[in-house]
């Protein structure tokens, strides 16, 4: 829920700041600012909640803590790359793939009721997926529209 709030509130603020500063709206740019801020926000979570996020990674994958840190770095690089025109398209496509690849971790967290913030098994369970899957889809569509379709 927090990433969605960060995404939407940053989007609204960016729209108004661009309108106030430059006299016109730039929806795709505002959307890229919003997704970048959201990615930076979630990357911070990887550093604060490393143990809980490592619990979400499927058991077959080794080096879980390292992978959590690596995905944080990916999110930071993606947040920056979306604002560099020569990297925008490739960053957007890779980010879309990244969002799809995060789905197994979210499914595992849901099935095992993992609370990544407390590293405990008292999470929201399967109801979490009813929110998380549409949220991941929103992120994918958001990146596609703001960084690929209306670049």
Domains of the chain, by residue range, sit at 39-149
Amino acid 9: pLDDT: 98
Amino acid 6: pLDDT: 97
Whole-number percent of the chain with pLDDT over 70: 99
Q: Which residue has the tokens 């929806």?
A: 27
Amino acid 100: pLDDT: 96
83-104 pLDDT per residue, tens: 999 999 999 999 999 999 999 9
Rg of the chain, C-alpha, whole Å? 16
Amino acid 21: pLDDT: 87
Measured distance CA(1)–CA(94) in Å, rounded = 23
Say yes or no to pLDDT of 57 above 90. Answer: yes
Residues 6+ apart with CB under 8 A from 37: 6, 7, 10, 79
Cα dihedral 120, 128, 140, 47, rounded to 10, equals -20
Say yes or no to pLDDT of 112 above 80. Answer: yes
Average pLDDT value for residue range 129-148: 94
Instruction: Name which of 23-32, 34-43, 72-81 the model is least confident about.
Output: 23-32
Instruction: Name which of 3-7, 138-142, 146-150 the model is least confident about.
Output: 146-150
Measured distance CA(15)–CA(23) in Å, rounded = 11
Measured distance CA(57)–CA(78) in Å, rounded = 21
Q: Which residue has the tokens 């890229």?
A: 32
**Residues, the chain:** 151
Closest CA to 42 of 53, 57, 31, 28: 53
Tell me the whole-structure pTM to 2 decimals: 0.92
pLDDT-based confidence at residue 129 (cuts at 50, 70, 90): confident
User: Regarding predicted confidence, which is higher, 137 or 123?
Assistant: 137
Closest CA to 27 of 40, 37, 15: 15
């Amino acid at each position: 829920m927090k990433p969605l709030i960060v995404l939407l509130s940053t989007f609204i603020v960016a729209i108004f700041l661009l309108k106030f500063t430059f006299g016109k709206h730039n929806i795709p740019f505002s959307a890229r600012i919003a997704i970048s801020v959201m990615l930076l926000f979630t990357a911070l979570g990887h550093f604060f909640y490393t143990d809980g996020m490592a619990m979400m990674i499927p058991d077959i994958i080794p080096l879980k803590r390292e992978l959590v840190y690596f995905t944080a770095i990916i999110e930071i690089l993606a947040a920056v790359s979306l604002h560099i025109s020569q990297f925008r398209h490739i960053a957007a496509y890779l980010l879309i793939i990244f969002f799809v690849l995060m789905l197994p971790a979210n499914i595992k967290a849901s099935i095992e009721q993992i609370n990544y913030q407390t590293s405990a098994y008292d999470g929201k369970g399967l109801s979490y997926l009813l929110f998380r899957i549409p949220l991941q889809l929103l992120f994918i569509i958001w990146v596609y529209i703001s960084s690929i379709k209306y670049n």
